[in-house]
Amino acid sequence: MIKPVLQDDAFLADVEAATKSQPDTLHVWWLGQSGYLVAYNGTRLLLDPYLSDSLTEKYAATDKPHTRMTERVVAPERLTGITAVTSSHNHTDHLDAQTLLPLFASNPSTRLVVPAENLPFATNRLGESAPVVGLAIGTSTTVGDIRLTAVPAAHEELLPCYAGFIVQLGPWTLYHSGDTIPYDGMEALLRPYKVDIAFLPINGRLPERRVSGNLWGDEAARLAKAIGAKCAIPGHYELFAFNTESPERFIQTSEAIGQPYTVLRAGERESFAAP
């Protein structure tokens, strides 16, 4: 089992220290899978967090066990000061009740932003009182100091239940693709946003995994380059043994084409000076 770089008390101490000592710096922590904690100037955003063992428990006695590769970074109820949370689609590693309900309890003013198509599903899973906001593809909303725009994603198919999010926070523009493969017009759609940091999956698509597909590492690097991202950060690997991929292809391609990148380990932080 992989141990996070920072975990539990050490992780929370790093969050507090970084945000207090460098409030005008953008701080990013990888939580595993497609989950990230982003902090800037007193605002904290969670992107697609999965911080439970719900899938491991659900599939333990089946022919597709979700065996964990990496220990959990932190219990969700211990995360505080969260302004907003995203869920790019309805798969449990992106919309997990065992993660989100404790988060809501610890952060009563937070809002969960989901694709508008997924609003009924999300409220059914999380409860009618859950603080869920539906956002149609191509539209934007503001939560606190965060402006979120839903953009298309193709989790094998280009459907409105799959989204990526453009995040504008202070001087920063971030792109969290959600789960997606390349689709026609993707680069032209994203290029005008002038993305500073792109969070992209790299675990690819293989029929024997029996899961919907994502970008391969080389595709993620090329997409980041094509849209002009100043930094690309890979995700969606090293959580479940049946559904992972080495970041080597992403690293090799990024270096070959001159795409700046950062590869994080679970619980690790990267800090970015103002763009």
For residues 77 and 121, what is the distance between their CA atoms, to the nearest angstrom? 23
Whether 209 has a pLDDT exceeding 70, the answer reads: no
Amino acid found at 143: V
Amino acid found at 97: A
Secondary structure of the chain: what % helix, strand, coil (to 5)? 25, 30, 40
Beta strands in the chain (DSSP E): 26-32, 35-40, 43-47, 82-86, 111-115, 132-135, 140-143, 146-155, 157-169, 172-176, 197-201, 231-235, 269-272
Which of 37-46, 195-204, 212-221 comes out lowest in average pLDDT? 212-221
Q: What is the DSSP letter of 211?
A: S
pLDDT for 213: 87
**Tens digit of pLDDT for each residue in 138-174?**
999 999 999 999 999 999 889 999 999 999 999 999 9
Whether 114 has a pLDDT exceeding 70, the answer reads: yes
For residues 175 and 190, what is the distance between their CA atoms, to the nearest angstrom? 9
Query: pLDDT confidence of 88, banded at 50, 70, 90?
Result: very high
Mean local confidence (pLDDT), 69-94? 97
Mean local confidence (pLDDT), 227-244? 94
User: What's the gap between Cα 67 and its chain centre?
Assistant: 20
Contacts 24+ apart (CB under 8 A), 52-56: 52/76, 52/96, 52/98, 52/99, 53/98, 54/92, 54/96, 54/97, 54/98, 54/99, 55/92, 55/93, 55/96, 55/240
Closest CA to 46 of 8, 76, 2, 25: 76
Q: What is the DSSP letter of 130?
A: S
Mean local confidence (pLDDT), 64-92? 96
Query: pLDDT confidence of 243, banded at 50, 70, 90?
Result: confident
pLDDT for 211: 58
Q: What is the pTM of this model?
A: 0.97
Whether 220 has a pLDDT exceeding 80, the answer reads: yes
Mean local confidence (pLDDT), 130-142? 98
**Tens digit of pLDDT for each residue in 25-49?**
999 999 999 999 999 999 999 999 9
**Domain boundaries of the chain, sorted by first residue:** 9-272
Torsion sign (Cα): 212, 213, 214, 217: positive
pLDDT for 208: 57
Mean local confidence (pLDDT), 249-253? 98
Instruction: Return the CATH fold of 9-272.
Output: Metallo-beta-lactamase; Chain A (3.60.15)
